[in-house]
Structure 1
């Protein structure tokens, strides 16, 4: 049986790391702040993977993002996926050379399937994470969004993911904009949007407020990994406690020796 995974997501915006609530961003601190408060050589003992996304709204600074990625990856043994603004195979290669093990493609799934294909052919399908942001549209329907949630797609999620995506994407990062940063738990109805017969691993994101939400997500057989992007939700030894609680609850997670306690100095958990 494949192990389930816990994933931590970092949001990078014009040189700063951010909190997000329904895709509205709040500045937290720069790379120096992150390195002072989060030692990912230690954090990596309590997560299975790290995702770093450039969510800059204006013109992106690839040099700054790659420099931040290099700083984060130093000493971090957990696999890292990086994305945001990937418009060429060359930039995907640059992210991989800056410390990433995988690349994340979002908008390209809808408007540049050739890029998805080319990146997969160059680096392997297992190296490509497809990212989809969905939002409730009316009483019962959902719509997919690209470009940091600013552009609503006319196509369904099934149309977006069918064909080229399943042939060139290794796994899917499925994020709910409505639940993003709310701490209200995952929206499992988003999983019903997947194409019939979808067989690729699914990372469920959007809504984690505590370890119980992790457990609820991982208990769903359609979910292979759960993700959170809230920097303050698991402060102190929160990640360690969450992982141990999941293991004690029978969740199939990888196990390795603990290494100290992760401390976020000078901050208490902010919101849910």
Structure 2
């Protein structure tokens, strides 16, 4: 059993014991799912996005998750204010650049957040992270395009890690997590996860939950991504044949029943150093 797998299970135990408050500035399509995912894993969500209160909310939180899924100027300003406050207080910031590469507004917002806020973890799909790396991206809405699937995910992850001094998590058929030196590949998950809106956003919220109990953001990112993948596997085993609606709810059920033993038994993590 590798050390990273054991460290992931230790963090899950920490979340359930400490119940960290996780501040999510996310999108109106998935806000409820993100809140429920955070609750299910053992943390406590707060979904404040008004500029009049984000700095106060960040100040009492253990982590901040910024998600640009549904953008408007109101939330863009709030995200940057909250991110700066989190930096001031040394509170971890997770950034989910949903749809980066798809529109001028998303591209400019992504670049502005990365310019003004020190990000600790970037979690996205290969098209989104390819855009951040400076590659020509063919983002298909909020999904990875087939054109971008040929990109070198490990190389792109490491490039972004070094450019922004952060951890990068690229989710896909095989998930890639890197801190610029270590690289973990996670083979958990099920293809039905891509047929339910919000599973990527939920994954970022889970990563934020794990970041809320440690300064080891590499392990936290691996743990959050692995937990979501395992939940998808369990959900499909239980109700997959019933359709995506039942699968959606069963993912939350699986997260709520996640424990250190289950995580350790089902994790499919391969770690290397470059």
Q: TM-score range by the shorter chain?
A: 0.3 to 0.5
TM-score (structure 1 length as normaliser): 0.41
Greater strand proportion: 1
